[in-house]
Structure 1
Amino acid sequence: MRRSLARVDAVLVQAVIAGALSFAHLHDLAEAAGQHGWKAWAYPVSVDLLLVAAWRRLRSGHAIASGWCWFLTALIASLGANVATAGLLDLDAIPAWLRVLVAGWPAIAFLGGTLLAHTPDPTAPAPAVETPEPAETPEPAEEPAPEPPPRPAPSPAAPTVAPSAVPAALVEHARKVATAHQDRTGEPIDTDTLRARLGVPPALARQIAAQLA
């Protein structure tokens, strides 16, 4: 436990020292390039924030190419300031290209920070889309059962003539007609022929034929 605490303390102290020195070098270079007052102090803050944003993007494991691009850009700006203020560059006579680079750094840092912050994370859960519930379809109304077609009225039966109503003389005459028809044709007379010979209604002819049978 004590070893881990000592290791953490050493790392923190080293980080604070490195950050303070880099911060100071960036401030000195910005001020030498014509950025005075609070502007000179804003430059190291901008570089360090871009470094942190790029490092977080690399740690996330997504858009690694973009993370490395902006991490190296911020690292070169920090290392360049450290090297430039180490005596290799005359801070009293800053070249024009370096003044232009320092003046254009805020736009570069803003672009990098915006791209790193707003790059979508493919592992982030997509927002849930509420699916509309299907509308309840009304149940079809029960159709009434079709009424059975009306039964046709029974046709009135043909009036029948009772056998007792047939006169005996008519029956005797019909017998003679039937006998003569059979003698002439060799076949018994049918009801239609009998009705035609006697000139009686069909019902009466059937009654007479029934008595002759």
Structure 2
Amino acid sequence: MRTSNRHGLRVDAVLIQAVIAGALSFAHLHDLAAAAGQDGWKAWAYPVSVDLLLVAAWRRLRSEGPSRLAWCWFLIALFASLGANVATAGFLDLADPPALLRLGIAGWPALAFLGGTLLAHSAEHRPQDPPAPAPTPEPDFVADREPDLDPASDTESLPAPTEQPPALPPADPAPAVPAVLIDHARKVAAEYRDRTGAPIDTDTLRARLGVPPHLADAIAAQLA
């Protein structure tokens, strides 16, 4: 309960302060316009114009973010309001205002109209954000089949494993030996028998013919 009362008092104090500041600024702008030769309702229209331009620029800043246009007109309206407050504090002779002040007061309506029009009808062009990528469809998950909780039923349904005999390696086929090579091997074997009196062995035959071991074995088998 105390928190709500304090919050209400704080808000009321801020509002009262804003009303007082606005009334003083309004009165200073009126007095300055009246001193510059704007009498009657025209003197009351000047503070309204300045405050409206200030509010319009501030609203543009709050709604669309910082921009050069909004900041420019906000500072112009703020300078006009603060200038009136300072000018009516005794720094200028309001009974005989300078010509530059009269010129500024006379040109203010056109300036305020231009600023209000630009703030109301111009929009800041911002780069558009790239479109978000389309969500990829999620794959359909198929629910796994629940396992059978009875191990006996699985054992009965599966056939008994049969032992397979180990596979024998395939026998290497005997290489084909050309007839010319067989004839040459017979001559080499006959020469070796005549010289040594013993049949030629496979290693010696392989060395004399210059053939690989498996081919030498095949030739020796045909010579036997």
What TM-score range do you get, normalising by the shorter chain? 0.5 to 0.7
Are positions 1:117 and 2:120 aligned together? Answer: yes
Specify every segment of 5 or more residues in structure 1 that has no aligned partner in the other structure, as ranges. 124-213
**CA displacement at 1:20 relative to structure 2:** 0.2
In the alignment, structure 1 residue 59 sits paired with structure 2 residue 33: no
Query: Does the aligned pair in 2 maintain the 1:58–1:64 contact within 8 Å?
Result: yes
Call closer, same or farther: CA 1:122–1:8 in 2, change over 3 Å: farther
Q: 1:83 corresponds to which residue? A: 86
Q: CA deviation at 1:63?
A: 5.7
1:50 touches 1:70 (CA, 8 Å); kept in 2?
Answer: yes
- Partners of 1:7 and 1:94 lie apart in 2 by 41
**Larger Rg, first or second structure (1 or 2):** 1
Q: Deviations over 1:3-40 (max 9, x none)?
A: 21111101100000000000000000000000000000
Offset of 1:57 from its aligned partner?
Answer: 0.6
- The CA deviation string for residues 157-187 of structure 1, in whole angstroms up to 9 with x for no partner, is xxxxxxxxxxxxxxxxxxxxxxxxxxxxxxx
Q: Output the CA distance in 1 between the equivalents of 2:7 and 2:73.
A: 32
Q: Within 5 Å, which residues of 2 pair with 1:65-76?
A: 65-76=68-79
Indicate how the Cα distance of structure 1 residues 64 and 36 shifts in structure 2: closer, same or farther if over 3 A, else same.
same
Report what 1:33 is aligned to: 36
The Cα shift of 1:122 comes to: 5.3
Q: CA deviation digits over 1:135-171, x for unaligned, max 9?
A: xxxxxxxxxxxxxxxxxxxxxxxxxxxxxxxxxxxxx
Report % sequence identity.
Answer: 75
Matching residue within 4, 7, 12 for 2:7 = 4
State the shift of 1:54 in Å: 0.3
Provide closer, same or farther for how the CA distance between residues 21 and 38 of structure 1 changes in structure 2, counting only shifts above 3 A.
same
* Cα distance change of structure 1 residues 101 and 94 upon mapping to structure 2, 3 Å threshold: same
Q: 1:23 aligns with which of 19, 26, 36?
A: 26
Q: How many residues align?
A: 124
Q: Give the corresponding residue for 2:202.
A: none
RMSD: 1.6
Letter in 2 for 1:2: N
1:45 pairs, out of 45, 48, 52, with: 48
Q: Distance in 1 between matches of 2:98 and 2:104?
A: 10
Q: CA deviation at 1:61?
A: 2.9
Pair 1:94-2:97 in alignment: yes
